[in-house]
Amino acid sequence: MEDNTILNYGKNPAHTVFKLSWSAIAEQFLICLVSLADMAMVGSIGAYATAAVAITASTIWFINGYNMALCASFMFIVAHNIGRNKINIVHKAVRQSITLSVFSGIIISVAAVAISGRLPVWLGAEEDVLQPAIDYFKIIGTSLGAVTVSTVISGVMRAAGNTRLPLFANIGANLLNVVGNYILIYPARDINVFGNVIKMYGAGLGVSGAAISTAASHFVLAVFLLIMLYKKPTPVKIRIRGDYRITKRIMKDVFRIGIPVCVERCSLSFGHIILTAMISGLGTIALAAHYLTDQAEGIFYLPSYGLADSATALIGQSLGAKREDLADKFVFLVCIINIIAIAIMCVPVFIFSKEVIGLFTNDIDVIKQGTVTLRLAAAFEVFFSLYIVISGICRGAGDVKIPLIAGFVGMWVIRLGACYILAYKFNMGVTGIWLGIGIDTVFRGLICIFRVKSGKWKYAYKH
């Protein structure tokens, strides 16, 4: 019988983790770098432009919570059944992942466009931010369904051990985004190239230009990954002709894994929406500083998200093949690698936080507040990174309740409560917000560490 697993992908477990993870981590870095390039380009327009993008960011994260849940469900199904060598079930799951992601993606896009005119008002946007925020979200909303499709397809590919194709697909889509930003955000201008002055075309659309470029890259990525799913020779390759109808067998696992993950991610994202509204009350400068810190912080846990995806695939296939011993080795390795990577990244960012924030804005007040908040983010990051990685481990095992509890209690009891008290009652402003966030991350990290040490995660799912 053909071996379709990735359990012996490398010479030993450590080599397997590195070989599988490097492209997933590189993909996360690429996505973040493009996001940072977006920030720098938008931030060069002014603090109002940064705030216009920031005000709707938490809503996009809320939608991505659903995308993550659907992706996690199908990653689990694909990984477990590859481990069990049930390739016929894998192919059925892949087809149904397309059906669900396309159908729900259409609903998401329609709903996003429908609420775009009111959303920034609900979130408390100030007058100078209101119209740019409406325009930005309306344009981005048209492509959020494409994000659902590309997220799910990338997940099933990674669950089968194909992490390179999503990487290279993202390289192409994000290069398109950067070029589009450069052309659409700024007006026509003269540029100097090796002493020669060249007239550079520019649409001068500002925030709307950034949204158009990002939306176009979302559509291109989704279409490309769909095509590759039918062409690339992997265990998840399928023919166009086939049965795409939803089945009870697949949906049982989709609901079993997806609902807790969806509740976890959406509750966290809805909490972020409440937090954004809370920060909006502190003013445009505070909102801009928070957004830049939040985006810069994304650099810290990029390795964690790459390792979490790899852990989901490796743990899922190990337990599907009934190799609990191998699962234990992979868990230890991904956690140790994560801690080392986070330490390497957070120390220099802590030291040079002022310079990092200064890359994305020239507003002195934003830089001043952002320097403090970024240092707080770096100080607490190891706990949040472990929460991310261990959540990926648990998803691979079908153990989704503990991350749900940790995330829900952390957000709604600890984070929102601490942030409000520190920011408003102690008058610490946006600094208090990030201190409250830090307290939450410590709580989540410790809960997940205790779960992994217990070993109970290996027996949470029964076929």
Predicted confidence (pLDDT) per residue in 157-196, tens digit = 989 888 888 888 988 998 898 889 889 988 877 776 666 7
Which pLDDT band holds residue 146 (cuts at 50, 70, 90)?
very high
Secondary structure class of 190 (helix, strand, coil) = strand
Contact (Cβ atoms closer than 8 angstroms) between residue 289 and residue 369? yes
Are residues 72 and 152 in contact, defined by beta-carbon separation less than 8 angstroms?
no
Q: CA nearest 41: which of 293, 210, 218?
A: 210
CA distance 60 to 272: 10
- Region class of 162: left (phi > 0), else alpha (psi between -120 and 50), else beta: beta
What average pLDDT does the chain have?
87
Least confident of 46-50, 333-337, 380-384, 437-441: 46-50
With cut-offs at 50, 70 and 90, classify the pLDDT of residue 397. very high
- Res 222: pLDDT: 96
pLDDT band at 444 (very low <50, low <70, confident <90, very high): very high
H or E stretch including 196? Answer: strand 196-203
> Which residues neighbour 213 within 8 Å (Cβ) at sequence distance 6 or greater?
176, 177, 179, 180, 181, 183, 184, 185
Residue 316, helix vs strand vs coil: helix
**What token pair was written down for 292?**
């830049």
